[in-house]
């Protein structure tokens, strides 16, 4: 029995594809050649690896990152297209009431329809310029701002449309830590998915930077220096400008001016009233995060690795944290759990590990107060 089997094995070898290779003397060298090729490849690799470390260091920049040496198939990624498509049924309902908010023709945020007569909730600090909203059915409308909540950086928009599908917002507390969360966008699958990291808490405020130097000879806020690459320079503030008020709050002294600016977070818009050459001007400036003439701290550097962060990302009275990696232009839209229930609205991409969202129960109250306003 055994002998027969071995013979069969040999026969199949001899009946190669080409008749030339039938005889054993051709088959064996082929094996040998393939082995030699293997050795020829592996020897230089081995030689390099045992070489001096310095050589590797010189090559450091041209070398691929360790993981680039192996391929990562997209289906393996936690927020890859394959996993995302498993959420299609979950977000189907919410998707109909999600809009793309565009300013000056560029995608800047997502939004959710919260009133059938065209009320849309979105992220406020992404809205300078002419606003349009594109609905799930591809219709595009011009929008105007009807209410803003600066604490949560949310805005209520109004478009001229009726009988729109709306999001069902229930006053439920957010799901448990570890629950899947999907960020709904305009596509059939979600923009990105992740899990609940931390339940609602207050996100601390951090002061923004305007980028001006003040005259310390007088008590009034007179600008003596405008630093390059800051919000002050972009807004066109100039030397010798006297700041009269910040967001309609008068600033008679330097201390008052500094305090008013520090109340605001990076990414917040400021309305400044300044006196220049006897004229009174209104200037809109945007606060920036760190002082641009300083190197980023380790924390800032690491948080910006791998993803772009929202400008306005600190200081929210109540927000839950999830690990979904989204673009800053995908903030403002609804987040749903596995039941398809809207559990919140994305507020900001805040760090490498974190995205903040306002819980649905808080959002309901905010919408009411913005409507009333």
Partner 1 sequence: MPEIVVFQALLGALMLAGLLEDNIRTYRWQVHLYSSAFFEWNWLLRDWQVAYRAVAGKNGTQSDPELVAVRRDCCFGMRALLSVLAPMIYRRMRVLFLCAIGICSMNAWVCAADPIVLPAQVEKVVEQRYPRNVEQLRLIQQQVQQVAKLARPATVGVLVGQGAGSGVIVSADGLVLTAGHVIGKANRRATLLLPDGRRLRGRTLGANHEIDAGMVQIENPPADLPFLPIAPMLPKIGEWVVTTGQPGGTLDDRAPPLRLGRVLGVDDDWVCTDCTLVGGDSGGPLVNLRGEVMAVHSSIGPDIVYNFHVPVVEIQKGWQRLLAGEVWGGSDETLVSTTMRPIIGVAGREENGQCLISHVFPSLPADEAGMRSGDVVQSVDGDNVTSFDELSAKVLEKQPGQTMRLQIGRSGATIEVDVVIAGIRRPVPRGDRAESESRERP
Is 30 one of the binding residues for partner 1 (CB under 8 A)? no
d(CA 266, CA 205): 9
Is 20 one of the binding residues for partner 1 (CB under 8 A)? no
CB of 230 vs partner 1, minimal distance in Å: 15
Binding mask 268-297 for partner 1 (x = CB under 8 A): ---------------------------xxx
CB of 71 vs partner 1, minimal distance in Å: 10
Is 86 one of the binding residues for partner 1 (CB under 8 A)? yes
CB of 30 vs partner 1, minimal distance in Å: 11
Is 318 one of the binding residues for partner 1 (CB under 8 A)? no
Q: Which of 197, 204, 157 is CA-nearest to residue 367?
A: 157
Total of chain residues touching partner 1, rule CB under 8 A: 61
Give the torsion sign (CA, 316, 317, 319, 321): positive
Q: Are 361 and 190 in contact (CB under 8 A)?
A: no
First CA to last CA distance, the chain: 92
CB of 135 vs partner 1, minimal distance in Å: 26
Residue 332's Cβ-count burial label (10 Å; 0-12, 13-18, 19+) is: buried
Is 83 one of the binding residues for partner 1 (CB under 8 A)? yes
d(CA 55, CA 176): 51
311 or 324, CB closer to partner 1? 324
61 or 137, CB closer to partner 1? 61
Helix then strand count (H, E) for the chain reads 9, 18
Residues in the chain, total:
373
278 or 306, CB closer to partner 1? 306
d(CA 145, CA 129): 11
d(CA 334, CA 345): 4
What is the binding site for partner 1 (CB under 8 A)? 6, 9, 31, 34-35, 38, 53, 56-57, 59-60, 63, 65-67, 70, 72, 75-80, 82-83, 86-87, 89-90, 176-180, 194-199, 201-202, 295-299, 301-303, 305-307, 321, 323, 325, 338, 351-354
């Amino acid at each position: 029995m055994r002998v027969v089997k071995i013979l069969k094995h040999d026969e199949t070898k001899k009946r190669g594809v080409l008749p030339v290779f039938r005889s054993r003397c051709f088959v064996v060298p082929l094996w040998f050649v393939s082995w030699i090729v293997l050795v020829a490849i592996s020897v230089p690799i081995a030689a390099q690896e045992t070489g001096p470390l310095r050589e590797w260091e010189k090559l450091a920049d041209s070398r691929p990152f360790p993981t680039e040496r192996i391929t990562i198939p997209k289906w393996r990624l936690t927020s890859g297209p394959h996993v995302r498509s498993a959420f299609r049924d979950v977000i189907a309902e919410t998707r109909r009431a999600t809009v793309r908010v565009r300013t000056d023709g560029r995608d800047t945020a997502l939004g959710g329809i919260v009133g059938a007569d065209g009320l849309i909730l979105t992220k406020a600090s992404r809205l300078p310029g002419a606003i349009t909203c594109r609905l799930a059915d591809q219709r595009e409308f011009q929008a105007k701002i009807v209410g803003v909540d600066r604490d949560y950086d949310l805005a209520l928009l109004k478009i001229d449309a009726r009988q729109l599908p709306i999001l069902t917002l229930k006053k439920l507390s957010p799901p448990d830590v570890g629950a899947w969360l999907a960020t709904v966008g305009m596509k059939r699958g979600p923009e990105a998915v992740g899990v609940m990291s931390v339940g609602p808490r207050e996100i601390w405020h951090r002061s923004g930077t305007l980028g001006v130097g003040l005259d310390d000879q007088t008590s009034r806020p007179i600008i003596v220096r405008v630093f390059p690459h800051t919000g002050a320079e972009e807004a066109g503030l100039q030397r010798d400008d006297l700041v009269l008020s910040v967001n309609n709050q008068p600033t008679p002294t330097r201390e008052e001016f500094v305090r008013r600016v520090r109340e605001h977070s990076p990414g917040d818009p400021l309305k400044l009233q300044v006196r220049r050459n006897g004229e009174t001007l209104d200037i809109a400036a945007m606060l920036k995060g760190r002082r641009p003439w300083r190197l980023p701290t380790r924390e800032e550097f690491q948080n910006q690795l791998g993803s772009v962060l929202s400008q306005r990302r600190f200081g929210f009275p109540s927000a839950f944290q999830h690990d979904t990696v989204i673009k800053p232009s995908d903030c403002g839209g609804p987040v749903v759990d596995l039941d398809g229930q809207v559990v919140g609205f994305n507020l900001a991409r805040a760090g490498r590990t974190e995205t903040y969202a306002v819980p649905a129960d808080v959002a309901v109250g905010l919408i009411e107060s913005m409507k009333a306003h």
